[in-house]
Structure formats: C-alpha cells, structure tokens
Chain A
C-alpha cells in the first residue's frame, strides 16, 4: 500500500512541480529560520544556567528617584546585608567591568583584556571547572591569582604554570589555579585577581557589583525589604541629626535609595539596571522579533501549503472517486494524504537542517556567537514542530479531499465549494498582510537608521584616532610628553585626552550640586583643547584655555541639560557648583565658565544626561587616570602617521601593553550596531517572506486560472476582448490585495509606532512606506497574475467548450 501511495505522490508531484517547489521551499526556509532562532535563543538564555543554585543568587542594583538604576553597590551593603539579614548566606563584591593587564614571567609577557578583580570567595559563587591547582589555595592569600586555561597556555605553553610567580603592575603574584568556564556566564574572565585588602564599611563608593546568595526557599521580596531597612537604619538615619532633617523630609526632597534584586539567570536578557555587567546585555527584543518572524514564516508556508493543496484538489478528485468506488475508507484516504504531506514536511526538515549547517557559520560571524547544530534538545523541539506542522497542514486538505462524494466526482460534477474559495482568499489576504507589514517595517527601519547615521551628533568624529592607554602610571605626565613631541608631526593636527570616548559605552558619573539641587551627572575630565578638538558648540561663556590658570584649578563647564536641571541655564556664568569628588569636609566649589550644547557622548540610543567637563589637573586623583588619547590626523598617509605614533609610544611611553587604536567614527558606530543588525536581519527575513508569499501567489494564480479556463473560453466565445478577460481574472486577486492593504495600514502603523518609541531620538512616522507598500503589492500582484492571465487568453477555445 505504502508503495502505491509513494508512486501516486511522485507522479502527482511531477505534474504539479510548481506546487511541490513552493511547498517544500517554504517549509524548508521556515524550519531553517526557526532552528537558527531557537539555537540563538537557547544560547542567550543559557547564561549562568550552569551555576549551581543559580535561583538563590541575586545581584543587588540600586535605584533612586534622581539617579535611575545602578548595577553597582557599596562595600557597606556587602558587609551589612550579610551580618544583619539571616536570609543572606554570603555576599561578594566583584569589579563591574573587565580591565586589561599584562602578566610577565621572566622575559615572557602575556596580555589579557579580561581581568576581573574579586574577593577570595569568588568560586563559591561561580564554581569554574578547576583543571589544575586548587580553589583553597586561591582563597588562602590575596596575592594568589587564578587564570584561564587559554591564558595558562599562552604563558607556559605545555608546561604547568601552577605556583609560578608572575608580575602584574609591578607586584608579584602566585598562580594558584587554572580553570575552564563551563558555559556562557556573567564573568568570562581570563584572569581573577583579588582586591588587595578586605573592604571596610563604607557607604560612599558605588564601585563593584554585589552578589548575594540567599538561603533556600527565601522569597526575594522579603529580603529586599530587609535590605532597604538596613539602608535606612544604618545609612540614612545616622545622617538625619547631622542635617537636621526628618526621614520624611529627606524622602520628599532627595528620595531614598532602594535596592532592586536581579536573579543571576535573568541579568543577561532582562536586566533592570542600564548596565548588565561584563558579560554584556542580550537583546531580548530582537530575540522576540526574530522568533515572531520565524513563526510567521512557517505560518506563511503553511498557508501556501493548504491553499495549494485544496486548490489542486479538483485535479485529484477523480483519483478519490475511483478509490472510494474501489472500497477505500475515508480514514484510509485521509491517512494517504496526510502521509504525503508528512513526507514533504520530512524532506523540508532535512533540507532545512542542511541549509542551517551552511548558514550557521555566517550567522555566528554576524552575531559573534559559537552556535552549533549539535544541540539535541533543540533538534528534538524542531522535529516536534515539523511533525505537528505537517499534521495540521496535512489534515485540512486531506479532510477536504476525502469528503468528495465518489459518484458526483466520477460523473465530473466536481465544483469549487464557495466556503473553500473564501477560506483560500482569506489565507491569501493574510499573506499579503504579512508581506505588506514586512515591507512597511523594512522601510520605516530604513528611515530611522538613516536618521541615526546622518544625524548631527554634536561633536566631530571624523579623522579622529583613539589610542587606548593602559595602566602605565604617571599617565598625565606621559601624555604631556607625547603631546609635546607629536604635535610637531605634519600629519597630526591636534592631540587631546578626555576621560571617556564617545561610543565606549562606559561613562563615569558623580554628583553635581548647586544650592539645594543635586543629581548624578556624567563627568568628563578633559584637556584644555578638548572643546575645540571635538568641535563642541559653546552656548554661553567660553571653553577652557591654557591662558586661564583657574581653568585647571577651580573651573567647570556644563552641558545644556546639566545647566537647565541646576536651574541656572539663563545666567550660568560665575555660579559656584560642587561635584561628588570634593570631600564633604572640604568647602571648595567650582565656578561655571561655560555651557556647551548637548552632544551624544554616550551613544545614540541613550538619552543625553547632564554632564560636566573639568580639567585633568583640577583633582589630584585624576592625573593618573587617562584611559585614551585622541589624535586628529590628516587623511593622507594615515598608516604612516599611525606607525609614527606607535614608534614613539613603544620607545618612550609603554612597551608592555599592546598598541591598540581605533577610529572614533567606527567606535561610535558600534552604538547603533545593534539596530543595524536588526535592520539586516529584518531585511533578510522580509525578502524571504515576500518571496515565499509571491511564490505561493503565483502557484495559486496558476491553479485558479487553470480552473477558470472554461469560463475564459465561454467569455471569449461571447466576444470578450483580451483586456476584458485579463481584468476579469486579475480582479479577484486585486480585490483581496486591496482589502488586505486596508487592514494592513492601521496595524503596521500601530506596530511601527511602538518600535519607534524604543528610540529616544526618533523620526516622525514617515508617510512614504504607507504609500509605497500598497503600490508595490498591487503592482506585484498585477504583474504575477497578469502573466498567467495573458497566457489564459491564448487557450484553444474548442477544447474547453467541449470538455470540462
């Protein structure tokens, strides 16, 4: 029996090869898309899942009315939460971003960009797999370090490096253990180095990430309330007397800091604080969009499948009639057709797997991932989806076919049922709807991206080379030395330094205060020439200048937002403000000498925060804190210029760390890379979806027109012109398109408006996508169906008038 089934299937497919191609290619793309998205989703969700008891580990974030949500905490919280709250078993402070370090052993120097500072109990929270050495040894002494397997290999080759002494920043450390990280994690450090001494109880500095382990079965909200209580009792209340205020007054005026708890496994995708930590932030929205799109893709393929199968059913009606006459039961018939469709589903699944195998390397490169197809749980899920899809898609046409009445069909009285036609039209309309939405989406995204790329950012990012400065001691002195020497170079027009480089994604913040107004502001330490160098616009007052001694002692420049929030925008010059770096007991103030126009110093998708500029030398601590030096270079001989800088740098400044540079425009471009990737993904998927829809439309048009050939012949005999016949055939398709467009426009408007709302700086909804898309859809439908219709007018009249 199976043999006959397969025989009939293949012979039928030969006749309807277009259907077969549309069906299988649609499902193949659908399955492939879903598989890639599932692999990606799974990878993103796997972060920290390998950590034992991960449901008991929480990161503490802090929130206050004025300053938003920080992902870092104070040492006081780490100490008091453990001592005062019984539900908190253990706490740990860990540096919130990777640092770079050079390890030297004899002549050998090894560089890593992923060094993490931590406390001795690190492995209690994140039990990496120990390959050599021991955790106890690491915890024994603060001069003991742990390194990753790859770093150990770089350092010692095949030889063991355990107990070896290495120099880091001039100090000696002993390698206590070598580890491997079991999976994606919050920390993927290559070097774990310990804080030099235990933390003291201090409320001032929000410097490190704080993780807590709760006892089993504890409700996090209960602990959160207790933590907030600790803050009030141990930090806020003691200060009340000093400031002569009541708790309610403080709450009213400044707001009181509260904690937010983030479970370890949710930080990557659902982080509450703006910063997710060294492991980086996942793009949950993108994941959902991709998942949604791949599901839509499968739906469209299924719609094609059902449409084509029911539409071509009339061609197989006779087979059904004969089989029923020969005594085949309805059940057997249904089984046969479902079998055919499951067979096609299986072929599509195989092709999909092969396709993913080929596409995955490109996808990995694009998304910076290491996904592999060898993921049994995901494959099982996909096979499940394939089986369920095939069964659903198979059941509808099978029931439709099996319900044909044998006698009627054999007599040739098979006619199209009205219900069937309506259902098919609705499904076709649904496809137009989805395709149209994709088209509009692609266009709106394109408009927003062009807006982002071309928008005036408020600073000059062209021809700017940024050189990373590592931990090299006496940084300001060395910077001055370099500036004096290289300023003479013909191809370097200007040199400057600022504490953060636009697009780096890391901005330091501290309090900014004027009279009773105080809030957290981005702080930027700069050289005298920075405002001119970056071409920032001075709105009021002036930029810093070497001609004013006070500029490097007691002056400050604010951005527009900062001046407005301090309430001094109308008359800022000469106002005395304080910043968080000035100690409480010090009554020093800084004088505002200028206000600059807001510029996008922290990426395009971040709201411009209040910010201030202070000269490097104003505070003692900052003189050794230059993370990067910026050069304006001439476009000619750039490689020569870079070589000149490198030679000077290695010879006179630092030859320990690698020479790392980047261009500012490229660096800034990283801030909208996420959206560009969304754009590309959306574009690829849209193209696939539209192609599948059009293929489906083409096949469906072919079939329905084939069924209407008799009608065409009659009309032609009665004197209809070619034009009239084509119009008659295309009319119904155009009607479906028009109705879909009417439904499409408001839905897409709403959804795209929502998408645009994700952007702080966004375009007004463009009108063009809503005009172009209907036109494109109508033209495509007209063209595709038109071709078929023109062919239909050339039929042999006699054949269709005589026979049906």
Chain B
C-alpha cells in the first residue's frame, strides 16, 4: 500500500541545514499495524507527516497505492488526503467550539457526503467507539480518553484506507491510554491499516510490526508476536 524508497527530508533555514530523514526505505502492506519508535528528534514525526501527505519529501519516491505522490502539489495532496487518510493526534486537535457530533461530522462535510448519510455514519461510529451518550457534549467537557476516542472516531468516519496516529496516548493516563490502544487494535483486527508513532514500547506491542528509527534512518524492524493480553489492567 505504501512504498517509500530513498526518501529524504531536509529542513533548511538561513544558517543551518538539518536532515530529518535520510534515504529511508519502508513498505507498509494493507491491513498492517506499524509502530514507529525512536528518541526525540529521530525523524519519526516528520516521516508520519510525509506519509500523511501533510508535508512533501525533499527527494526520493513515495508511492501511495498505485500513485507516485512525492511530486504532488499541495492541492493534489489535499485531495488525496481528504479521501484516504484519517489522523489521530497526541493533542487530539478537536475544535473546541464544535460538539462531539459536529467534530466527527466535519470530514464528511468536506467530502461532500449527503446529510442523511452523514447522520447515519456519525451515529454508527459514535456507537462503535462507545461515546454515543456524549454526542452533544463539547470537547472540553470530556476526559482526555474520551476526547481521543472522538478523534479516533473522526479519523474513521470517512472509512479511510490509512489511519495515522501520532503518539495517541501521549496526553493520556495509562487507563485511558489503554482504552485508546484497544480501540486501535480492534480496528486493526477488523482490517484497517494503521501507522503509529509512539514513545511507549507498551503501546508498540499492540502493533504487528515495530520500526526503530535513529537520526532519520531505520535502524531495526521487528515483527510483533502479540504477547500482550489486551485485557491486562
């Protein structure tokens, strides 16, 4: 589904040139749940932004499905992003002025889904992530875990081919964090492709493959043998 070859990202300011990603190669198959780990500043978030089409690589190739997207304009990337990718952020990134329901509905509106269809899909997803009773609340009235569920629901509602999660439990306590990870694991089990950046090796255990990064390069990969009991408290 995703093939990155010799991908490089260089940030230039007037004084310094920083190579965030250096000639990186990575393939993610459909239905995989990949965790990217590494120390701060190793380039994992940059990589996620490029995969999420929020940013463009400096050089190298990025194949999304059958399409080479590394040379896409911002507008083309936006179109592709809107139709195929769902995001979950560490800081949730919900709009405080909109209710839970409205936050989830937003990507459907931008994808021009008719309103009756929207209603159906939002309600379904609310049930699925278990916050239907909070639909009319505003983000600030919810706990962190609940907010992140809303964010996950929002990422899922358009049925994206790929879900990107940037440290989804970083702002949560362990109980809430666990709930969110279980949710992602369930999604994976039902066939979703997920790429997650995380600091937590505990969270990484939920995924099927763990990629370790350092200084913009992949230093190791290991396939996960799910030794974690998802019901552990």
Contacts and interface: CB of A to CB of B under 8 A. Distances in A.
A778 interface: no
Given A718-B82, A718-B106, A719-B78, A801 B89 contact: yes
A51 B145 CA distance: 83
Contact of A711 (B49, B82, B95): B95
The interface size bin for chain A is 10 to 19
B106 A710 contact: no
Nearest to A720: B110
B91 interface: yes
A797 B54 contact: yes
Contacts of B49: 798
B95 A714 contact: yes
Nearest to A418: B97
B140 A415 contact: yes
B215 interface: no
B45 A802 contact: yes
B174 interface: no
A415 B110 contact: no
B95 A717 contact: no
Contacts of A415: 96, 140
B165 to A, nearest CB: 13
Given A710-B93, A711-B95, A718-B154, A798 B82 contact: no
Contacts of B97: 711
B11 to A, nearest CB: 11
A415 B96 CA distance: 9
A719 B110 contact: yes
A724 interface: yes
B107 interface: yes
A152 B95 CA distance: 83
Interface residues of B, number: 22
A724 B110 contact: yes
Q: B89, B93, B96 — which one has the most chain A CB atoms within 10 A of its CB?
A: B93
A415 B94 CA distance: 13
B212 to A, nearest CB: 22
Interface string A702-743: 000000001101111111110010000000000000000000
A718 B45 contact: no
Nearest to B94: A714
Contacts of B140: 415
B10 to A, nearest CB: 15
A585 interface: no
B54 A719 contact: no
Interface in A681-710: 710
Contacts of B206: none
Contacts of A716: 78
A804 interface: yes
Contacts of B54: 717, 797-798, 801
A422 to B, nearest CB: 13
A798 B91 contact: no
B93 A714 contact: yes
A55 to B, nearest CB: 64
Contact of B81 (A719, A801, A802): A719
Given A798-B49, A798-B54, A721 B91 contact: no
Contact of B106 (A713, A715, A797, A801): A715
Contacts of B82: 718-719
Contacts of A804: 91
B78 A801 contact: no
Contacts of B81: 717, 719
Contacts of A713: 93
B111 interface: yes
Interface string A578-610: 000000000000000000000000000000000
A721 B93 contact: no
Contacts of B45: 802
B87 interface: yes
B217 interface: no
A721 B78 CA distance: 9
A714 B82 CA distance: 12
Given A715-B106, A718-B106, A719-B82, A798 B55 contact: yes
A560 to B, nearest CB: 69
A801 B96 contact: no
B29 to A, nearest CB: 25
Interface string B145-185: 00000000010000000000000000000000000000000
Nearest to B155: A718
Nearest to A713: B93
A716 B52 CA distance: 13
Nearest to B97: A711
Contacts of B87: 717-718
A9 B82 CA distance: 44
A726 to B, nearest CB: 14
A78 B140 CA distance: 85
Given A718-B110, A720-B110, 7 more contacts: A415-B140, A714-B95, A717-B81, A719-B107, A721-B110, A724-B110, A798-B54
13 contacts: A713-B93, A714-B94, A714-B95, A715-B106, A715-B110, A717-B81, A717-B87, A719-B83, A719-B107, A720-B106, A721-B110, A724-B110, A797-B55
Interface of A: 415, 710-711, 713-721, 724, 797-798, 801-802, 804
Interface of B: 45, 49, 54-55, 78, 81-83, 87, 89, 91, 93-97, 106-107, 110-111, 140, 154
Q: Which 10 A-B pairs have the closest CB atoms?
A: A719-B82, A719-B110, A718-B107, A714-B93, A720-B110, A797-B54, A711-B95, A718-B106, A798-B49, A798-B54
